Structure 1
Amino acid sequence: MRSTLKFAVPLAVAALALGACGTTGGTSNTPAASGGAAACGDYKIGMFGALTGPNANLGIYIQNGVNLALDDYNKKHPDCKVTLENYDSQGDPTQAPALAKKAIDDKKVVGIVGPAFSGESKAANPAFAEAGLVHITPSATNPALAENGWKTFFRVLGNDATQGPAAAKYIKDTVKATKVFVIDDASEYGKGLADIVRQDLGSTVVGNDTIQQKQTDFGASVTKVTASGADALFFGGYSPEAAPLIKQLRDAGWKGTFVVADGVKDQSFIDNAQAAAEGTVITCPCVPADVAPDFQAAYKAKFNEDPNTYSGEGYDSATILLDGIAAGKDRATMVDFVKAYDKPGVTKQLKFDAKGEVTDVKVFAYKVEGGKIVSVGEIK
């Protein structure tokens, strides 16, 4: 059953309803009147995430949403345009601190969309917090990120403290698995999510294992899973490892249900796993493309494809920052602006609690059917 969730606003969303950029005339290039913002035309927002490397697709989907928000804003403000600065982390936490410094040192950057992944967020966010640079992640889901007291941290989607229990519930109530094997990839994201699923499934878990990112031979794990008698496997990790893992499991004759999360919600998983991907269940705190039909149509017109994983969340994250720029906010005053934000976006009502977590949280289930990822509805 497809989700029937609807939103109060079409694509005439916040970015399209922005006011003037703090100028006193149509061609004025004077500083904004409030907040001490930089001169019009000098504003930037940053996109921080993997744009190359094995997980680049997820970053590109977000970047597409950001670019669409910028297009909408700049059409409304042709004399006060905002530009995008990309910080390609390749999803590698070791690159994150240097990229964070680069963003911080560019004083024209008034806010960051990202970081996209939990590991790089853990590495970069302390520097952002110290510098007072707002960062709104559209995709990093580790719950611990909100527990560090970072005043500049905001997240426009539910974290894994929501996704993990939802995945466990789906495994128990819909898949109706009685023996579940759990594997994680030892990453900040993958292990954190898998541990929550392990805790929620309790005695239903009949085996555990850990693999490594960039691993390609999963023979040892395949042996453990098949020997356990598991009728379902939950994998906490990303698509580059999920594809060969399930392919090798199917080649070994395992017939159980493969359950993964948002890190695998990408066409590359299907392309690489091929027929072995069929039937895979994917959970994600991301809305289906058809939930916001006007956004879907605008995205498809620009990119010739439907919005993908976290495209809408990327759009919403960028829109919040653009709303702040329209209100004349600079780096120092953007924090309080985002804290007080409360407007409908294309994915949900955008309002944050004291820790920077969005207050409107939903988790959806998807399934690979006929070589495509299709929504099967919200996990209540």
Structure 2
Amino acid sequence: MVLGAALATLATGSVLTWTLSRDDDPGSGGKSTGSGAPARSVTVVIGVDAPLSGGMSSMGAGIKNAADLAARTANESGHVPGVNFEIKALDDGADPARGASNAARFVSDEKVLGVVGPLNSGVARTLVAPLAQAGMAVVSPGNTDPVLTLGSDWASGSRSRPYSTYFRTVATDVDQGPFAAGYLHGEAKKTKLYVVDDGGAHGTALSSRFTTAFTRLGGTVVGTEQVDPAERAFEGLATRVRSSGADAVYFGGYYDTAAPISQQLKQAGVNVPLMGGDGIFDQQYLTSNPKAEGDLATNIGVPAGESAAGQDFLARYEKAGYPEAAGWYGPYAYDATWSLIEAVKTVVAGNGGTLPGNAREKLPQAVAGLAFDGVTGRVAFDGSGDTVNRRLTVYTVSGGSWTAVRSGSAAAR
């Protein structure tokens, strides 16, 4: 398993707990030997921002629990003797309006040295900027909006990193849309697509990249539409899709909107697959949509169970007894948390084995220089803050379950 550094400052409240002390081999990323006299114990808080209520709470719970598991692992191993780590989890309800207020709460708590999250790109757009202004490192296990690392003009070829403190452990919509287009056109042999999105940051970026790639491959977009993510009546949309002659529908958004669209399309006699991104890849999409058979989704990375490190994570997660499943984002949240742990280790090692008073401002640079083997594979970041481990998987609904049909690496940017 991967072990790493720690965040430190005095702390109270509900947070991740582990211990930090001098490590004779600070660059190894392995277990601390625990030799020598332990430093005075301090507590470090790692913030976690996730949807812990509402339609995406199942994903949010997996993120929070995985972050907690990373903290437990570091504490129990004595990886950084002398420091206790705790998590401070705040609920964003997948609501962008709550991003700024959560950021303010993290910033005002001097014990919080870094943040894991958020899940949603829309929330990230309001959370990340104030955290960046405060110089606080943020590592997301779920944001896929390219704007967060490449800037608002990325689609036109002008890329400029807007936040030097922001990183993510997942691939992005720069990768996800084209990967989906390649599968639908090249392997599923679909040539006429109706493209729908929910108007959010994630949905629009996903559908935009998909559309560009699909038409470049020779496919035709026969209709486009934007829907309200709170809407649940899509009979009119189903009628327009049927009239368009589309042989598939591509949806940019999340499962709580995609499920009723898919169901009502089938009920209207539009028996074509709906394909989406990682936002629809969830068990809830299946349980709330009895017509999901044959639908498709891309997801970031590959299944955790396909690697020894991922299997180990899942076994430890189950042993820990969390009531909610880790979900797809749990392993990425674990690696995001461990990135902050490793960064703290680096900062402490560079300060003679003690946590400096300005640890918070030193953390982003330490995260940027990381490279270690995590539960999802190699964890390291490029100059924009994006992961270098950009792998994706296409799934289809078969027999009422998500089944992997193709995995591969994203095309070079």
TM-score (norm: length of structure 1): 0.89
8 Å CA contact 2:4, 2:345 repeated in 1: no
Contact 1:111 1:331 in 2 (8 A): yes
- 1:279 matched to 2:294: yes
2:52 paired residue number: 51
**Equivalent residue runs for 1:94-243 within 5 Å:** 94-146=97-149, 147=151, 148-202=161-215, 203-243=219-259
Q: Within 5 Å, give how 1:26-45 maps onto structure 2.
A: 28-29=39-40, 40-45=41-46
1:115-170 CA-partner distances (Å, limit 9, x unpaired):
22111111111111110000001100010111242110101111100011001111
Match of 2:93 in 1: 90
1:121 partner letter: A
Gaps of 5+ in 2: 8-17, 23-34, 152-160, 349-354
1:289 touches 1:308 (CA, 8 Å); kept in 2?
A: no
When residues 15 and 65 of structure 1 are mapped into structure 2, their CA distance, relative to the original with a 3 A threshold, is farther
Matched residue, 1:21? 20
Which region of structure 1 is more displaced relative to structure 2, 49-58 or 301-310?
A: 301-310
How many residues matched?
358
Give the Å deviation of 1:315.
0.5
Matched, 1:269 2:285: yes
User: Could you give the per-residue CA deviations for residues 168-226 of structure 1, whole angstroms, max 9, x where no partner exists?
Assistant: 11111121101111100001111110111111112521111110111110112111111
Any idea what SS the aligned residue of 2:196 has? Answer: strand
Q: CA deviation at 1:17?
A: 12
Residue 366 (str. 1) matches residue 366 (str. 2): no
Checking the alignment, whether the CA contact within 8 Å between 1:15 and 1:72 is kept in structure 2 is no
Q: Secondary structure of the equivalent of 1:102?
A: helix
SS of the residue 1:72 aligns to: helix
CA 1:64/1:104 → structure 2, altered by over 3 Å: closer, same or farther?
same
| Distance in 2 (alpha carbons) for counterparts of 1:149 and 1:17 | 26
Say what the alpha-carbon RMSD is for the aligned residues.
2.1
Higher relative contact order (CA 8 A, sep 6+): 1
Structure 1 counterpart of 2:316 = 298
Q: Is 1:349 aligned with 2:378? A: yes
Give the drift of 1:278: 1.4
1:376 and 2:405 are equivalent in the alignment: yes
Q: Compare 40-49 and 309-318 and name the one that shifted more.
A: 40-49
Counterpart of 1:325 in structure 2 is: 344
Q: Which amino acid aligns with 1:295?
A: F
Deviation at 1:325, TM superposition (A): 2.8
2:208 partner SS: helix
Q: Which residue does 1:313 correspond to in 2?
A: 332
SS in 2 for 1:246: helix
Q: Which residue in 1 is equivalent to 2:15?
A: none
What is the CA–CA distance in structure 2 between the aligned matches of 1:299 and 1:241, rounded to whole Å?
29
Q: Percent identity?
A: 30
Could you say which residue in structure 1 is the equivalent of 2:11?
Answer: none
Amino acid in structure 2 at the alignment position of 1:360: N
- 1:39-76 C-alpha deviation (Å, 9 max, x unpaired): x4320001112111111122112222212111111102
240 and 97 in structure 1: CA distance in 2 versus 1, 3 angstrom threshold: same
Task: Quote the offset at 1:358 in angstroms.
Answer: 1.0
Match of 1:335 in 2: 364
Unaligned regions of 5+ residues in structure 1, if any? 1-11, 30-39
Can you list the C-alpha shifts for 1:219-240, whole angstroms capped at 9, x where unaligned? Answer: 1211111111111111111111
Per the alignment, in what secondary structure is the counterpart of residue 242 of structure 2? helix
Q: CA separation in 2, counterparts of 1:230 and 1:103?
A: 47
Corresponding residue for residue 67 of structure 2: 66
* TM-score in terms of structure 2 length: 0.82
Quote how far apart the aligned CAs of 1:304 are. 6.9
Separation of aligned partners in 1, 2:170 and 2:378: 11
Give the structure with the higher percent helix.
Answer: 1
Distance verdict in 2 for CA 1:71–1:284, change over 3 Å:
same
Q: Give how far 1:333 is off.
A: 1.2
Aligned residue for 2:397, secondary structure, equals: strand
CA displacement at 1:20 relative to structure 2 = 6.8
